[in-house]
Structure 1
């Protein structure tokens, strides 16, 4: 290609080349700036948003309450019946003071008191959250509380001491625990509230173990 030797033409060509170079550089910088901004935004979305979502999810889970979830009539009946059932077990346990002689009986009494008093408070809190009374209006609708002792049973237990108390306590508490396990298994089958079902699981596990221990006590008394 032939280059013009005219000074004015060469000057004009240099001006056009400089303008083109500046324009190209501007486009390149703009492109780089846009790319950097997009990359930064992309990293922000990738690192911060999942963390924010996880935090919100964790906050929602922490603020949730099992008692505020779905519950049904079986859950309500379980709490309403198990509260007085536990209360009677605690009444029987209190009679052991000054009457029980066997060390294993005394240990089981302490275990019963430790487990059942907190469960009573927990079940009362459920009923409050559910807007249900502690005792159903008109009784338990024909549902008997299995294993409950009569007044005569409790008076008979209070009237004995030492080995006689240990044996009678074991006999009565086996029947009482069997009733609690029966009600807890019904809650396992029919209940809907997760917290209520967990307590039912605990009742089945702990009281079945205590029944086995009480039977061993009877075998050696």
Structure 2
């Protein structure tokens, strides 16, 4: 088996089991694996926590999953990079088995902003490989909808969504649009809103942790 392509940081599970569940953290544009890893110790003890670094380098400590242009007032993505990143994350999960021990049937993604976008893209297209996602201040790409799996394949996928109503980067309607779309697929996400901007505030993190503690 190949070594994982992406650089990553690890927090081992605090509760020792033969095959722990895996939680992969995915950062936003211009951030990095260390930034998301800063709250790894707040995450449930049962998880093997892996914080992955995006494949695109924008500068020192600045990475992304794909390029995005906000100059029109709405995000315009590099669709080829976004699709390549989706495939890269799926391969990363597969190759991670060569270096880490985890339950392949218990893989979760927690993503902020562009990391949340990637969480949707990966899980909705390959739901057999992902058990649940926590999307924080993200959006669901219209470009990925043609690839989304059938409702029958998706029915076991568990979804948590958090979003600030004052988000000036990825505006709040992106969250409500995603919820409506997921409802149409028979998925009913655990949806939390906050009076905040584009951030992970303590309440958001607390609610995500509560959800991760509840998933089976």
- TM-score, normalisation: structure 2: 0.28
User: Looking at CA atoms only, which structure, 1 or 2, has the larger radius of gyration?
Assistant: 1
Higher strand share: 2
- TM-score, normalisation: structure 1: 0.28
Higher helix share: 1
